[in-house]
Each structure stands twice: as C-alpha cells, then as structure tokens.
Amino acid sequence: MKNILCIGAGYVGGPTMAMIARKCPDYNVVVVDINEERIAAWQSDELPIYEPGLAELVKSTAGKNLFFSTDVAAEIEKADIIFVSVNTPTKTFGKGAGKAADLQYWEKTARVILANSKSDKIVVEKSTLPVRTADAMERILKTAPDGIKFEVLSNPEFMAEGTAVEDLEDPDRVLIGGHDTESGQKAVQALVDIYRHWVPEEKVVTMNLWSSELSKLAANAFLAQRVSSINSLSAICEATEANVAEVSRAIGMDSRIGSKFLKASVGFGGSCFKKDILNLVYLCETYGLEEVARYWEQVVKINDYQQSRFVANMISSMFNTVADKRIAVLGFAFKADTGDTRESPAISICKLLLDEQANVVVSDPKAIGNAKKDLAEYADKVEYEEDVYAAVKGAHAIAVLTEWPMYETLDYKKIFDLMEKPQFIFDGRNFLDHDMLYDIGFNVYSIGKAPKKHI
C-alpha cells in the first residue's frame, strides 16, 4: 500500500484527497495542516467547508484510508507522494505587494519536507503558483543529504467551489507536468497511475512543468476575462437599451465562442480569479512584458468597475440617496452552493452601501459566519438575518448578490408587502423572474437590461 500525504487541509486539499481515497482503496491518504481547528473540524461531523456531496464522500473513507492529522513531520517521513496544497495568497507587503503571490507558506513547506525526509519522495504542486516555482522547490530540496532524491511535479487543481465533488469525480482534464528525464517521467507515471483509477486516459494530460504551471493561471485568466467581457458589454447595453441576455445568447451560439461563462452579473469572486490574474500580471512585468501585463490587468479593473457601477445605479434609482434606508442583501457567498465569501462582490458592494450610510442587513443560507468576518470593521452597523422574510421587513430595497436557487422560489408577494414603498429590487445575478416581480409591483433593476419601473 502506497502512502499519499497532502499538506494543507483547505478547500482544495480536503476534497481532492477525499476523492483520491475513495477512488484508490489501495492507497493510504493522510491530510495534514498546521491549523488544529481545521483538522478537528475535518475529523468531526461539521466539516470546515460546505460542498454538496462532500460530507458523504468524507464519511465513506474517513478512518478507512483517509486520515486527518496535525503531525506534519511524522507524516512526511511515511509518505511516498506529497501533495502541497497550502494557500498562495496575493502578497500584501514589500516588492510586488498587491500582485505577486505570497510564497512564504509554500517555501516553509519545502523546508519542512526537506527536514523530515529520510527517503526518496515525489512532491506534487497542487497549489496555484507562478511559473517556474517548481524550480525554487527543487533547489531547496536539492540541498538534501546525499542519497535522498525528490522529484517535483505540477498538478494544478481545476475544481470549482460549489461543484467540487462533481468536478473531482468527472474532471474536464487532469494536468500533470514533469521533467523530461527518466526519473521525471517515472514520477509522472506514478501520478498518472493514481488518476487512472477513475479518470479516462484521454483526460489525463502530461506536459512539461512550466506549461502545466502556466496553464492553470491561463485557464483562470480566460474564465475571468469572459466574465469581464460580458460585464463590459452590460454597461453598453444599459446605455443603449440593448439586452445583455440577448447579446450573450447571440454570441454564445457561435460554436467558436461557446455559451458558458457569458452571464452578466455583479462580477466574479472567489479566492482564485483575481489573485491568479494579478499573479500573471506580475509575472509579465517581471519578464518586461508591459503590454501583456496591462491587457490582463484590465480584466480585474472591469470587475471592480462593475461592482461600483451596480451601487451607483442603486443610488441614482433610489432618488440619489440610500442614507438611513434599510437595504436587504440577499446572498453574500461569491456564488451559490458555497459558504465561501473570499473576494465576493458582496463585500465591496456592502462596504460601498455602508459608506453611503445605508442600513445593510445581510442574509445568506451558508455564509453569514464569513460575512461577519468580512464586514467586521462595520460590526455595529450591519444586521444579519438568515431568514429572508425577517431581512426584508421594512426594507426599501433588495439587492440579490448570490444566485442561490432558493431565491427563485421565495414568496415575492409576501416580501413586497413586508417592504417600504416604493419597493426596489436589484438583481445582481440576472436570474430572477423580472416580469413576475414587476407584475407584483416591484421596480426591477437588473444588469445590462432596461429597468422595469412603476415610478
């Protein structure tokens, strides 16, 4: 039985290892973290993250061939293959602050692996990293005492939060980057063998290390770029009375473009898109590729613009003031089916509304705990109500910021009656039935479409 270790029990480490344990009963899988609270949560019935199907997945393997531990040193020694899935946030200090990846957790992990290894190991980059990070990892590991050999591979993770279990079960592709040497290719094969337990051969793609590292940044940059592209068009639609849903349908029917990820909204969020694009921007700057850097940077700028534009539209349609008005924010998670709020558009939108002295009440089925942390600086000014009907009571406006399916089936007549008149609803995800809302009496504002107003 081979031993797999994953360092970092976060959104990626936990679910990916649970899937490997489930599909590979011939491997022993251990996930370690320095965060004791997180490990205790993985060992309990209250997992530290919410993902549909995750609780069942973990339950089916925990204690059999999936284990969680805080004893990083001891587990490193036992492992044949070590996945590193620690956080790689944007640097907040020094050179490259606000753009470059903060690699301190990454480098510390390399040193811990080095200090606790007494036998050869394959080290797999699961975290998203700047191109050529494997080079730095290799140089640190090369200082190992004679006889111990490490082979570094890149295996970026493409799962999306909210559909993590589904994506891991049936990935579009699995990328494995390794060196074109005999030992490099042997290590690549060891990782291919794991994924081939359930992923079809044609979906397991092997390539050189640097291509694999860059492909992850590039994929996220392309996805975010599509969101910013359609959002930039939504502003033109609002100015010209074109309808962004119709435009998006028309362009999406072109088979060269495709229809996915063309939905106008308050913008993308999540821990990865912004961080990975800025990382790409910094990489371009480092290599003197200024024009390329500015090109990708604009994707992030449009995303920020879309959020401030949404708030500006709210203010101007509500008679140029939201001060002292109760605004019910429905949805705080960066997307449906997750409790994750990292870089959620709701954060900046709520802050902008609070700065305008609105009385913000936040409702979300899974993310209220995280929302409280995100808005901690406004603690005494924000109200939190899990129950939507309590949140909207006495509200002048509703801003829907997450596309939770439950928001489609609310009793909007009841909501209308609970609110202050005239009732405004701003659909930041363009997914509600706007005709129905208008017929009830709401003044309905969405993104990239003419508003439907009674006044």
Ligand X SMILES: NC(=O)c1ccc[n+]([C@@H]2O[C@H](COP(=O)([O-])OP(=O)(O)OC[C@H]3O[C@@H](n4cnc5c(N)ncnc54)[C@H](O)[C@@H]3O)[C@@H](O)[C@H]2O)c1
- Catalytically active residues, by annotation: 272
Give burial (CB, 10 Å; 0-12/13-18/19+) of 21: buried
Q: What is d(CA 320, CA 317) in angstroms, rounded to the nearest whole number?
A: 7
Chain residues binding ligand X by CB under 6 A are 7-13, 32-35, 38, 72, 85-88, 105, 108-109, 127-128, 157, 159, 161, 271-272
Q: How far is the CB of 101 from ligand X (least distance, A)?
A: 8
Q: Which is nearer to ligand X, 175 or 314 (CB)?
A: 175
Q: How far is the CB of 344 from ligand X (least distance, A)?
A: 13
Which has the closest alpha carbon to 323: 352, 363, 349? 352
Q: What is d(CA 60, CA 118) in angstroms, rounded to the nearest whole number?
A: 32
Q: Which is nearer to ligand X, 271 or 446 (CB)?
A: 271
Q: How far is the CB of 299 from ligand X (least distance, A)?
A: 17
Alpha helices by DSSP H, listed for 404-453, are 412-418, 434-440
Q: What is d(CA 448, CA 133) in angstroms, rounded to the nearest whole number?
A: 41
Q: Which is nearer to ligand X, 220 or 231 (CB)?
A: 220
Give burial (CB, 10 Å; 0-12/13-18/19+) of 44: exposed
Q: In what order do the strands lie in the sheet with 66-69?
A: 66-69, 27-32, 2-7, 81-84, 121-125, 150-154, 174-178, 204-208
Q: Which is nearer to ligand X, 115 or 253 (CB)?
A: 115
Tally Cβ neighbours within 10 Å of residue 318.
Answer: 19
Q: How far is the CB of 334 from ligand X (least distance, A)?
A: 10
446, 309 Cβ separation under 8 angstroms = no
Looking at this protein, which amino acid is placed at residue 30?
Answer: V
For 201, half-sphere exposure in the C-beta direction (CA atoms, 13 angstrom radius) is 0
Q: How far is the CB of 320 from ligand X (least distance, A)?
A: 39
Give burial (CB, 10 Å; 0-12/13-18/19+) of 305: middle
Q: What angle do CA 362, 429, 15 make, to 5 degrees?
A: 75
Q: How far is the CB of 32 from ligand X (least distance, A)?
A: 6
Q: Which is nearer to ligand X, 85 or 443 (CB)?
A: 85
Q: How far is the CB of 175 from ligand X (least distance, A)?
A: 12
Which has the closest alpha carbon to 72: 35, 102, 123? 35
412, 444 Cβ separation under 8 angstroms = no
- Cα of first residue to Cα of last residue in the chain, in angstroms, is 70
Q: Which is nearer to ligand X, 8 or 345 (CB)?
A: 8
Q: Which is nearer to ligand X, 8 or 448 (CB)?
A: 8
Q: How far is the CB of 443 from ligand X (least distance, A)?
A: 36
Q: What is d(CA 356, CA 349) in angstroms, rounded to the nearest whole number?
A: 11
Phi, psi of 128 (to 5 degrees): -90, 125
Q: Which is nearer to ligand X, 131 or 391 (CB)?
A: 131
